[in-house]
């Protein structure tokens, strides 16, 4: 029996998606599944240009695990493109980073999902004060798929 998979830390939770060749019904193409952690590895390595050690730290895995993940992700994307297959993003056990904020005036605490598109808050949602700051240490929300 293999040991349980470690949670991977993602900046945002990708929405399930399917990318397929144009003009071909989905039922007529084979599908390659890309895990959210593999998509995150591609984002960190290829889009943002991080070195493996830095990217592995952001995902909460070892450098060698990150390397295996990004190699597998690149293989799957290449296979889908070259062989005309659909690429489906789904599955995995991940942790989405939450950023904790605190208001100095009313002492209200709240979390914002990193990468949610909301950006950094400008005022406290409870009292409207702009005396807010990001707290040190991040809590994480667990998601199982």
pTM, full prediction: 0.60
More confident residue, 118 or 85: 85
Residues of the chain with CATH 2.20.28: 98-144
Q: CA 81 to CA 3: how far, in whole Å?
A: 32
Q: Which CATH class is domain 8-91?
A: mainly alpha
CA 64-37-41 angle, to 5 degrees, is 60
CATH number for the domain formed by residue range(s) 98-144: 2.20.28
> Across residues 14-27, what is the average pLDDT?
86
Q: Residues 48-106: pLDDT tens digits?
A: 999 999 998 888 889 999 999 999 999 999 999 999 999 998 875 555 566 778 888 99
Residues of the chain with CATH 1.10.10: 8-91
Q: CA 119 to CA 104: how far, in whole Å?
A: 20
């Amino acid at each position: 029996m293999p040991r349980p998979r470690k949670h991977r830390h993602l900046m945002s939770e990708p929405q399930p998606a399917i990318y397929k060749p144009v003009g071909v019904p989905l039922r007529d193409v084979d599908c390659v599944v890309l895990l959210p952690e593999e998509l995150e590895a591609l984002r960190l390595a290829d889009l943002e240009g991080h070195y493996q050690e830095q990217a592995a730290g952001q995902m909460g895995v070892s450098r060698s695990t990150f390397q295996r993940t990004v190699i597998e992700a690149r293989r799957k994307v290449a296979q889908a493109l070259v062989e005309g297959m659909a690429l489906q993003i789904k599955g995995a056990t991940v942790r989405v980073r939450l950023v904790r904020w605190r208001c100095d005036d009313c002492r209200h605490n709240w979390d914002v999902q990193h990468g949610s598109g909301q950006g950094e808050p400008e005022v406290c949602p409870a009292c409207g004060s702009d005396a807010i700051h990001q707290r040190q240490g991040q809590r994480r929300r667990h998601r199982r798929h």
